[in-house]
Amino acid sequence: MAEKHVVILGAGFAGLGAVRVLGREKNLRVTLVDKNNYHLFLPLLYQVASAGLEAPQIAMPIRAFLRRYPNANFVMGQAERVDLQAKVVVVEGKPIPYDYLIVGSGSRSFDFGIPGVAQYAIGLKSLEEALHIRDRALSAAEEAVRTNDPQRRKALLTFVIVGGGPTGVELAGALGELKKHVVARDYPELRGAELRIVLIEAGKRLLNAFSEGSSRYVENSLKSLGVEVLKESRVAEVSEAGVRLESGEFIPSYLVIWSAGVAGAALPGLPTTRGNRVATTPELFVPEAPEVYVAGDMNYLEVNGKPLPQVAPTAMQQGTWAARNILRHLRGQKQLPFRYKDKGNLAVLGRAKAVAELGRVKFKGFLAWVTWLAVHIYYLAGFRNRLLVLSNWAYSYLTYDYAVRIIHHRHSFPQGEEFKKAPEPVLAETGVRKG
């Protein structure tokens, strides 16, 4: 059998899962392509944004991972398009031919066409964005200490998170902890209560993948951390000056984090369906090109009439499943339809609070938090990272401290003139939050 070349796009959970299956197979050559040189543990990215973890603790160098897989090579670069006919993927102008292709390029933030989101809000999908949020929040606090303009000070000390899914909720919880335990001690010039953390959700409740009981618990926990939760609130526009809701209410803010929507990051050349995702057969390949598999957030597959959730367990399972189907195909065996194992839902709300729903078993509080901790440490790729993340968490837990508060790139902020420029009706609403 001639050597076959498998190209894997994306070193996320799906891509690494596929490498684990294929990287030691004889007669196979594997090329892993990613625009970054590290695998990012996305479920903990919000902790980098909120100064709880250091960036390298959730990022593993891909080449270190690949050491154990002698058949696998790494190419750092942006995949630009796929040519299904020629069986070639183009990476920064260079064509890479494949016999099999596994696309696991994940998802990106989606703004629903709302004006100003792309320009003024920050997503939370990459390490760069997480560090951007951290630098901006810390810079805003320093700037607030120095400013004399009360309106500007208010905007500097208001952090808005749009989207009440797991990312938004966990980030709001972490920022609430910062507010409660760190700001008062570190910024005697600010009264702790001055810092506003506002979580905006368009739907009727937070975490709609969870039960209603869990949603209520989460909302109450966030409120006890000082987070303002606005439900059934839709963002009409994000501007330099803040967030305008469809209700007309205006929230002055210089830090708006967007976790309200995601879309698949399908690249040109792939046939797409809803949300820029790629529909596959149950065996996870593209009907038009059976040697092309799609795994993870970008895959659109309905099981029992419902699309699979875009979460880490789906990606991990589909990455290995697609790889195993390639092996079956090579051996002339029948490919198997993907079977999703629902791992349940987990969300954490800061120190020792979490909700867990594992099948019919639902629990919350400290026990859920320990479960969350165990699951995340187990899945953290790389032994060293596990140890360091654990020691960082233990330190935070014991000292109520957040130690990673260094500003890499200081941000500058509007001088406050944008409030004066704003039309009267909006200005009248400024700072008059109801409820």
Catalytic residues: 170
Using CA atoms, how far residue 421 sits from 164, 215, 414, in Å, is 31, 39, 12
- Given candidates 384, 397, 400, 417, which one binds its own copies under the rule CB under 8 A? 384
37 lies in the binding site for its own copies (CB under 8 A): yes
Does 302 sit near its own copies (CB under 8 A)? no
Pair 199, 207: CB distance under 8 Å: no
403 is a contact residue toward its own copies (CB under 8 A): yes
Considering the complex, state which of residue 375 and residue 390 has its C-beta at the smaller distance from its own copies: 390
Options 137-145, 195-203, 269-277, 354-362: segment touching its own copies (CB under 8 A): 137-145
Region of 191-199, 304-312, 365-373, 384-392 interacting with its own copies (CB under 8 A): 384-392
Judged by CB under 8 A, the residue of 45, 138, 169, 207 near its own copies is: 138
Which residue number, 63 or 204, has a Cβ lying nearer to its own copies?
Answer: 63
Q: How far is CA 344 from the centre of its chain?
A: 18
Least distance between its own copies and beta carbon 142 (Å) = 4
Give the nearer residue to its own copies in terms of CB position, either 77 or 226.
77
Is the Cβ of residue 142 or residue 149 nearer to its own copies in the bound state?
A: 142
Reported residue count of the chain is 435
Does 303 engage in binding with its own copies (CB under 8 A)?
A: no
12 within 8 A of 315, measured Cβ to Cβ: yes
- Kindly state whether residue 407 participates in binding its own copies, applying the rule CB under 8 A: yes
Q: How many CB atoms sit inside 10 A of residue 414's CB?
A: 14
Instruction: For residues 317 and 241, give the distance between their C-alpha atoms in angstroms, rounded to a whole number.
Output: 43
Question: Which residue's CB is nearer to its own copies, number 188 or number 271?
Answer: 188
Which of 187, 340 has the CB closer to its own copies?
187
d(CA 74, CA 388): 26
CA angle (123 as vertex; 122, 125 as ends), nearest 5: 145
Q: Which of 5, 20, 54, 344 binds its own copies (CB under 8 A)?
A: 54
Q: Which of 410, 415, 417, 428 binds its own copies (CB under 8 A)?
A: 410
Please report how close the Cβ of residue 297 comes to its own copies at its closest, in angstroms: 22
How many whole angstroms separate alpha carbon 163 and alpha carbon 206?
Answer: 8
CB of 382 closer than 8 Å to CB of 64: yes
**Does residue 387 belong to the site contacting its own copies (CB under 8 A)?**
yes
x/- binding map, residues 165-204, to its own copies, per CB under 8 A? --------------------xxxxx---------------
Q: Which lies closer to its own copies via its Cβ, residue 61 or residue 414?
A: 61
Contact between 415 and its own copies by CB under 8 A: the answer reads no
- Does residue 23 contact residue 70 with C-beta atoms inside 8 Å? yes
Q: Which of 5, 24, 64, 307 binds its own copies (CB under 8 A)?
A: 64
Is 405 among the residues that bind its own copies (CB under 8 A)? Answer: yes
Q: Which stretch binds its own copies (CB under 8 A): 219-227, 303-311, 332-340, 379-387?
A: 379-387
The span from the CA of 17 to the CA of 10, in Å, is 11
**Angle at which helices 212-224 and 166-177 cross, to 10°:** 30
* Smallest separation, CB 33 to its own copies (Å): 11
Give, as ranges, the residues between 145 and 164 that touch its own copies (CB under 8 A): 145-146
Residue 302, Cβ density class (10 Å: 0-12 exposed, 13-18 middle, ≥19 buried): exposed
Q: Cβ closer to its own copies: 138 or 294?
A: 138
Report if residue 131 touches its own copies, rule: CB under 8 A: yes
61 binds its own copies (CB under 8 A): yes
* Residue 35, both tokens: 């625009």
Which residues in 218-257 contact its own copies (CB under 8 A)? none
243/411 Cα distance (integer angstroms): 19
The footprint of its own copies (CB under 8 A) covers 35-38, 54-57, 59, 61, 63-64, 67, 73, 75-77, 94, 127-128, 131, 138, 142, 145-146, 185-189, 384-385, 387-388, 391-392, 395, 399, 401, 403-408, 410
